[in-house]
Amino acid sequence: MTSHAQPEPSAAAAGGASAPAGRYAPWIPIRSLSSRHRDRILAHLLALSEADRYRRFGYAASDEQIARYVDGLDFDRDEVFGVHNRKLDLIALAHLAYPRADSPLPDAAEFGGSVAAHARGRGYGARLFEHAVLHARNRGLDTLFIHALSENTAMLRIARKAGAQVERAGSESEAYLKLPADTLASKVEQWVGDGAAELDYRLKQQAHLVDALIDAIGDVRAHLGKSHSPTAED
């Protein structure tokens, strides 16, 4: 996250995530995204309210600034993943930014996420954070950190519940979570989870196509019904 004086969002600003709810699904399909998904990522971020944009980027980012942030996403270096609903809308998004060559924290990744307003309270923010933890440790990194506004209590609560140390400096806070070393079990967990999420998306995609086909058939039938209805001249 950047401070408000800076004109551009950081690689992985934190904010707009949902707090863990008391009851939510034990498994949520989180799918990895690529450069071909920029339009969906942009649509998700542009739909955030001004307050959510402020929490996500550290200031109320404009549409143009968000567009530049999305255009600048480096999918070769970082990981971006999200949650889709039945209509294939992107309702939760996370950016896991891996360290650059000149990073002061060469073994640390930065996490940032956002959840659509209508999808909060279902634990998506916490699940995205857990997903990021798994991927970062399997990359051999030892720390995951969040740079957030201190008022972003939902995001900081997620980090604290995971065991992160939170350091507050006025209006901004940083959370640092030490990661365990990767194991065969953690790698298998990631492989199985990623595969299951991809399968879930394909099933939703097929269901979406079937629904569209049914709607099209209904429209054709309605049109034919009107064209064959008796007129006054008949």
* 82: exposed, middle or buried (Cβ count in 10 Å: 0-12, 13-18, 19+): buried
In the prediction, which pLDDT does 103 show? 81
119 vs 15, higher pLDDT: 119
- Above 90 in pLDDT, residue 70? yes
**CA separation, residue 100 to residues 36, 55, 74, 104 (Å):** 23, 24, 11, 9
Over residues 168-218, the pLDDT tens digits come to 988 899 999 999 999 999 999 988 888 888 887 778 767 766 655 565 565
Binned at pLDDT 50, 70 and 90, residue 4 comes out as: very low
* Bridge partners, 177 (sequence order): 144
For residues 185 and 191, what is the distance between their CA atoms, to the nearest angstrom?
A: 10
In the prediction, which pLDDT does 2 show? 39
Over residues 76-129, the pLDDT tens digits come to 999 999 999 888 899 999 999 999 888 888 889 999 999 999 999 899 999 999
In the prediction, which pLDDT does 33 show? 94
For residues 94 and 59, what is the distance between their CA atoms, to the nearest angstrom?
A: 18
Tokens coding 43: 């649509």
Instruction: Return the CATH superfamily for domain 31-227.
Output: Gcn5-related N-acetyltransferase (GNAT) (3.40.630.30)
In the prediction, which pLDDT does 158 show? 93
For residues 48 and 65, what is the distance between their CA atoms, to the nearest angstrom?
A: 13
